[in-house]
A and B are shown apart, each in its own frame.
Chain A
Amino acid sequence: MSPELLLVQALNGLQFGILLFLVAAGLTLVFGVMDFINLAHGVQYMLGAYFGASLAAATGSFWLGLLLALPAALLAGLVLEFLVFRHLYDRDHLAQVLATFGVILFLNEGVKLVWGAAPLQMPIPALLEGGVALMPGLQYPIYRLGIIGAGLATALLLWFLVDRTRAGMLVRAGATNPEMVSALGVDIRRLFTLVFGFGAMLAGFAGVMAAPILSVEPGMGDTPLILAFVVIVIGGIGSIRGAFVAALLVGLIDTLGRAAMPDLMRLFLAPSPARQAGAAIASMLVYILMAAFLAFRPAGLFPVRTG
């Protein structure tokens, strides 16, 4: 693999990792604070993309679409929380997995009913169109750089909110020891609704950002959801910092693995089986990483919860 290609793939991996972080951030807080497994977090990402694409088409502007999609995603998250998730906090993980699985079935089909089964397109805004020359003869799309920039800015904002504000302090305390926080007189349910809505909006934001470079279709949230789980397990459940590091790690490993594995396998195998085995191993890499973490370091990179 040439250095140019490596650079492009590394940037792609970074951009993918940033999107994963936006999905995983909400998931890890919800999981950490309320011990609630939300499989339906991926549909928040999908809904964000659908809201963004259809609102951008309706208003004729990417930026208006983005701006309106965020409150729409927030609202969708709060409605789901009120209707379904609220009743599951006291239940075991099995019940949570199944009920939120039901939400996935409903919403994946729901978007098909509302927007049709055919993928939607969202145009790239004129401001971020075209490419930028990284090196002589090597163009990289500005929009993807824009995603990386927006994601890093969001991560910074999130760090500020979680590390420097009173609400953030309560969230961190809630992730470490929810019973204690509750005993100290904090309404943990209200705190959770806040965290939940914010997480839903972040996932929706990731969806809107991804909409112009992916096809917006039913079920598009399922893959990011599973990868977001990989991210939060590796990063340590409840840790924003862990989610950030792990998301970039997973994004880079997945993208670079897919690019490099077939070549790497060719060292041992004939070209055709090398391509197959390479593709298989590349898809598995992040799951192997997650399984290794679970088996040998179950608390993740940045453990949060105490005993």
Chain B
Amino acid sequence: MREWVVPLVLFAGLAAAPFAGFGEGYALTLLARTMILGMAAVGLALLVGGAGLVSLGHAATLGVGAYAVVVLDANGITDATTVLPVAIAAAALFALATGAISLRTSGVHFIMITLAFGQMAFFTASSLAAYGGDDGYTLFSRTEVAGTRLLEDRLAFHYVCLGLLGLTYLFCRAALAARFGRVLRAARENALRVRAVGLDPYPYRLLAYVLAGAIGGLAGVLLANAAEFVAPSYLSWQRSGELLFMVILGGLGSLHGAILGALAYVLLEEWLSHLTEHWRMIFGPLLILSVLFFRGGLAGLLAPRQRR
């Protein structure tokens, strides 16, 4: 029961936030961005924390989802019943194709090959002149839900993001608790032993990679809707690095850590950029210090005795 306390408080806090001083347009936009990045980070945490696979190309799956919205938007299709499945399927397919090759490698080679695929996706996006190329693409409108402009309303969008984040979290948590998750964790600790008991880690890892990709695609759809704008910078390797940082900042031991990490990241970025134009000069050293001295992450801080 105790391991539900922090996530419950976290979600309750996000649900109450619009009525607790964060109800203005700007604060809501910021919170939506946090929850969307948090969703992508939860998917990545499944991969990094659960399966021990460090991907430096996760932003590409967000990009595939976001660009699916763009392509459909340019063709006049803006209904969620089409947009969501297409975007998620596209991101999952991208993950399946790149994961099938990437997972032949391990360790540092895996980091490098996911980086390579991420860069390929980035350059593809930059070359899509019909969809803005380097300059990006401004959506005609947000995605419609069953013919209504539900997402135009900031408060409604807030709760849609929160609901989908909650579902993502529960889904990933269930996946990690199931046999699937146990095999993943066992393979992370010792792949040789997993093979020795007759299980091949490859299909499990591939499924984890595809799941993380599909979640990234969903987050991409929401991100495109939040900004009503999509640009190749969504797929940059720096963005992948930021997502990894959110996961680590939150703590590898738990999935809600990724949401905490995203929250801390976005709020810190926001706060520091108000303090000074050169906020990255403070942010960079904070990142280094958190890696050097803050090994358990935020979730570890909140639940020091929680077992992994």
Contacts and interface: CB of A to CB of B under 8 A. Distances in A.
B120 A287 contact: yes
B273 to A, nearest CB: 11
11 contacts: A95-B248, A102-B283, A105-B284, A106-B280, A109-B279, A229-B112, A233-B109, A284-B119, A288-B120, A291-B117, A295-B101
Given A95-B248, A110-B281, A294-B116, 18 more contacts: A35-B108, A98-B248, A99-B287, A99-B288, A101-B238, A102-B285, A102-B286, A102-B287, A106-B283, A109-B279, A113-B278, A226-B237, A277-B127, A283-B123, A284-B123, A287-B116, A288-B116, A295-B101
A102 B117 contact: no
A88 B292 CA distance: 8
A295 B117 CA distance: 12
Contact of A112 (B105, B124, B278): B278
Interface string B271-282: 000000011110
B contact patch SS: helix
A93 interface: yes
A298 B109 contact: yes
A1 interface: no
Interface in A251-292: 276-277, 279-280, 283-284, 287-288, 290-291
A229 B128 CA distance: 26
B248 A280 contact: no
Contacts of B128: 276
Interface residues of B, number: 43
A294 B113 CA distance: 7
A97 B111 contact: yes
B54 A280 contact: no
Interface of A: 35, 37, 39, 84, 87-88, 91, 93-95, 97-99, 101-110, 112-113, 222, 226, 229-230, 233, 237, 276-277, 279-280, 283-284, 287-288, 290-291, 294-295, 298
B209 interface: no
B288 A103 contact: yes
A93 B113 contact: no
A105 B283 CA distance: 7
Given A98-B248, A109-B278, A283-B126, A295 B288 contact: no
A88 B56 CA distance: 19
Given A93-B107, A284-B124, A106 B116 contact: no
Nearest to A108: B280
A275 B130 CA distance: 12
B23 interface: no
Contacts of A276: 127-130
Contact of A295 (B105, B284, B287): B105
A97 B286 CA distance: 15
Given A109-B278, A226-B237, A298 B48 contact: no
B162 interface: no
A108 B109 CA distance: 26
Interface string B206-229: 000000000000000000000000
A212 B22 CA distance: 50
Contact of A94 (B101, B130, B248, B278): B248
Contacts of B129: 276
B127 A279 contact: yes
Contacts of A113: 278, 281
B170 interface: no
Which of B48, B112, B285 counts the most A-chain CB atoms under 10 A from its CB?
A: B112
A158 to B, nearest CB: 23
B241 interface: yes
Given A226-B115, A288-B120, A99 B291 contact: yes
A302 to B, nearest CB: 16
A55 B126 CA distance: 36
A102 B107 contact: no
B244 interface: yes
A2 B88 CA distance: 46
Nearest to A230: B116
Nearest to A105: B284
Contacts of A279: 127
- Kindly name the residue among B107, B120, B126, B129 whose own CB sees the greatest number of chain A CB atoms within 10 A: B120
A292 B108 CA distance: 16
A105 B116 contact: no
B42 to A, nearest CB: 17
Contacts of B2: none
